[in-house]
Amino acid sequence: MNAGDVESRRSPIAGLGLFALRPFAADEKIAPYLGERTTTPPTPTENKTYSLEVKPGLWIDGQAATNPARAANHACYPNAELVYFESEDQAWLVAKTAIPSGTEITFDYGFTLAESLFNPCNCGHPDCVGRIIATPLRPALRRHLRFSRPRD
């Protein structure tokens, strides 16, 4: 990976997105998630959160413009995942599938059910639940939404 492999630009999902400037193979590292490390979650700034818990008790505050992966948006069916490599002490976006050049790079933000209620998802996938939520929690959110609708 080098700085010329990805770029941030306007996204149809939300604000800026991270886009591939060359094809990536499945399991290939795309971009590191860089930032200040802390043992407590950083405070969101300007209504945006760039902090990630990469392992229990270790957070990376990725808000600095020097973080190439900070523009990656959430998607319900992402083409990348965030992987923490213990041996390198580094988090990377890694391709889950082959990613063609020009494609937006997305990953699952892993939000909790409570967090999802305040974070709409605009990924555009036909099976999107409308909220940014961790994949394993989607069925619980679907149940919640089904039972919270007004009845006839």
Task: Give how far Cα 69 sits from Cα of 19, 20, 47, Å.
Answer: 10, 11, 18
Query: Which pTM value belongs to this model?
Result: 0.80
Q: How many CB atoms lie within 10 A of CB 60?
A: 24
Domain positions in the chain are 3-110
Cα–Cα distance measured from residue 57 to residue 47, given in angstroms and rounded to the nearest whole number: 23
What mean pLDDT is predicted for residues 126-144?
76
Mean pLDDT of 39-53: 68
Residue 15 has a pLDDT of: 80
If you average pLDDT over residues 4-31, what whole number do you get? Answer: 90
Beta pairing, strands 90-95 & 73-74: unpaired
Identify the CATH homologous superfamily for domain 3-110. SET domain (2.170.270.10)
